[in-house]
Structure 1
Amino acid sequence: MEIAILYQDEQLVAVHKPSGLLVHRSPLSRDRVYLLQTLRDQLGRRLYPVHRLDRATSGVLVFAFDAETAHALNQAFTEQRVEKTYLAIVRGWPEPPEGHIDRPVRDDDREAHREAASDYRRLATATLPVANRRYPTSRYALVGLWPKTGRRHQLRIHMERISYPIIGDTTHGDGEHNRIFREHLGLDRLMLHALSLRLPHPAEPDQILDLRAQPGDQFALALERLGMAEISEIFCGKILEWESASGAKQANHIREGRT
């Protein structure tokens, strides 16, 4: 397996993480292949993780090449100086079509809930002629998601809390609609993709890196089978408009990739 490189310099590397691949070894996992070790072997360099993506989530993931860079990047994430954009396919058509979710979630193994905030925007809708337990057809939407905090499973929990769970989520999702995707579309992954990261470069804080990974594999196939493939350019444009309206900084470097 070769990991797709989105951006690389002397301080860091950004990659397109595929869905289904663990980032690093876990005591509870029996996986033999991990992204961290695979990328180390591919680049021949030591890597320092600075943030996380769930096994089932695809998209942009950044590693540092040294401890100093890792510390600077960790600080940027902690201080919320990193802008994250995700795409998700959810059950239903979110109403209102855009909004802010401010609900605490449990982070990692902590017993106490912690503050968590996310923004969402409905980008496109589709209807499948497949009956579910409540309706004769099934509705789905493509949404843009902007987490303002970095809690574990935050976006998955937040979308479930407002009754629009992400398709393919076996923990916080809707089993019936996951089954519809498997049986009628032939798709069984979590429909959550980390589209972009905007962050200050640790060596040059005034330089903003805009790192992007266009949806690939089953996510792109889902868009096609839901009749959304032709508007991919449109929804990416809407995301950019949202970021501009939110006061996002102009990026100095843009790197795009697809796997």
Structure 2
Amino acid sequence: MSPAGLPVLWADEQLIAVDKPAGMLSVPGRGPERADCAASRVQAVWPDALIVHRLDMGTSGVLVFGRGPEAQRRLSAAFAERRVDKRYLAIVAGVPTAHTGTVELPLICDWPNRPRQMVDFERGKPSTTHWRVLQPAADGATARLELIPFTGRSHQLRVHMQAIGHPIVGDELYAPAEVLAMSPRLLLHAECLTLPHPAGESALTLRAPCPF
């Protein structure tokens, strides 16, 4: 049995991984109208599934749950200790002049405008994103990028891309109106996740096909 609307990428006694679609919350929001989410759908099938990390509502891709508190603790520790390799795909506005690069800009919550985040060199937490151009559009209007976050700050990829002049297409928080209008969804996808299995087995690689 699979959770409604959620393709299962992996399921065993320790770990569940699903492909979360864009537009779905990872965990419940405030109010009954925001109760539907990936976590509640997964728990309807596996009641012991506990969230390990989150994806923004607009972001699609690999989302992992630990089965039971101990599996959740081990997986959460792997994320906190940066023993998880993440690969995202994004379509950004414009084409970077370099083929690869690294963004190192400290981030903090823009509290009066939350959930927006912002660059703050005095109070922000260190944040690092590596990027690589995979394919520029023929007209130069957009480019497909591989994004590798070394840190896992809220909205990190979205803010870092906007900060270097290449906001992610369809980003309702950080893209200008003309870039937002280019797509009905945020073109950001968690394509691949490699992490240590909580049972102590070898590293597990999980992939979700990119929908754009």
TM-score, shorter chain, exceeding 0.5? yes
CA distance 1:29–1:188, change in 2 (3 Å): farther
Percent identity, please.
Answer: 39
Cα distance in 1, alignment partners of residues 23 and 193 from structure 2 = 20
CA distance 1:23–1:175, change in 2 (3 Å): same
Q: Give 1:91's aligned residue.
A: 93
Cα distance in 1, alignment partners of residues 88 and 199 from structure 2 = 26
Structure whose alpha-carbon radius of gyration is higher: 1
Are positions 1:173 and 2:175 aligned together?
yes
Cα distance in 1, alignment partners of residues 18 and 110 from structure 2 = 24
Q: Give 2:146's aligned residue.
A: 144
Which structure 2 residues correspond to residues 123-202 of structure 1 after superposition, within 5 A? 123-128=134-139, 139-179=141-181, 181=182, 187-202=183-198
Cα distance in 2, alignment partners of residues 29 and 91 from structure 1 = 36
* Unmatched 5+ stretches in structure 1: 129-137, 182-186, 220-259
Q: CA deviation at 1:24?
A: 1.3
CA distance 1:214–1:106, change in 2 (3 Å): same
Are positions 1:210 and 2:205 aligned together?
yes
Determine helix, strand or coil for the equivalent of 2:25: coil
Q: CA deviation at 1:29?
A: 7.7
* Unmatched 5+ stretches in structure 2: 112-116
Match of 2:13, as an amino acid? E
Q: CA deviation at 1:107?
A: 5.2
Residue 24 of structure 2, aligned match among 21, 35, 39: 21
Determine helix, strand or coil for the equivalent of 1:156: helix
Match of 1:12, as an amino acid? L
* CA-based RMSD: 1.9
Higher relative helix content: 1
Q: CA deviation at 1:88?
A: 0.1
Q: CA deviation at 1:30?
A: 3.1
TM-score w.r.t. the length of structure 2 is 0.88
Determine helix, strand or coil for the equivalent of 1:114: coil
Which digits, 9 at most, give the CA deviation of each residue in 1:208-234, with x for residues without a partner? 100000112xx2xxxxxxxxxxxxxxx
Cα distance in 2, alignment partners of residues 195 and 151 from structure 1 = 18
Cα distance in 2, alignment partners of residues 86 and 157 from structure 1 = 14
Match of 1:17, as an amino acid? K
Q: CA deviation at 1:173?
A: 1.1
Match of 1:122, as an amino acid? V
Higher relative strand content: 2
Q: Give 1:240's aligned residue.
A: none
Match of 2:127, as an amino acid? A
Structure 1 segments (4+ residues) deviating >3 Å: 107-112
Alpha-carbon contact 2:135-2:144 (below 8 Å) kept:
yes
Q: CA deviation at 1:178?
A: 2.1
Determine helix, strand or coil for the equivalent of 2:147: strand
Are positions 1:120 and 2:131 aligned together?
yes
Q: Give 1:8's aligned residue.
A: 11
Which digits, 9 at most, give the CA deviation of each residue in 1:155-179, with x for residues without a partner? 0000011101100111111211222
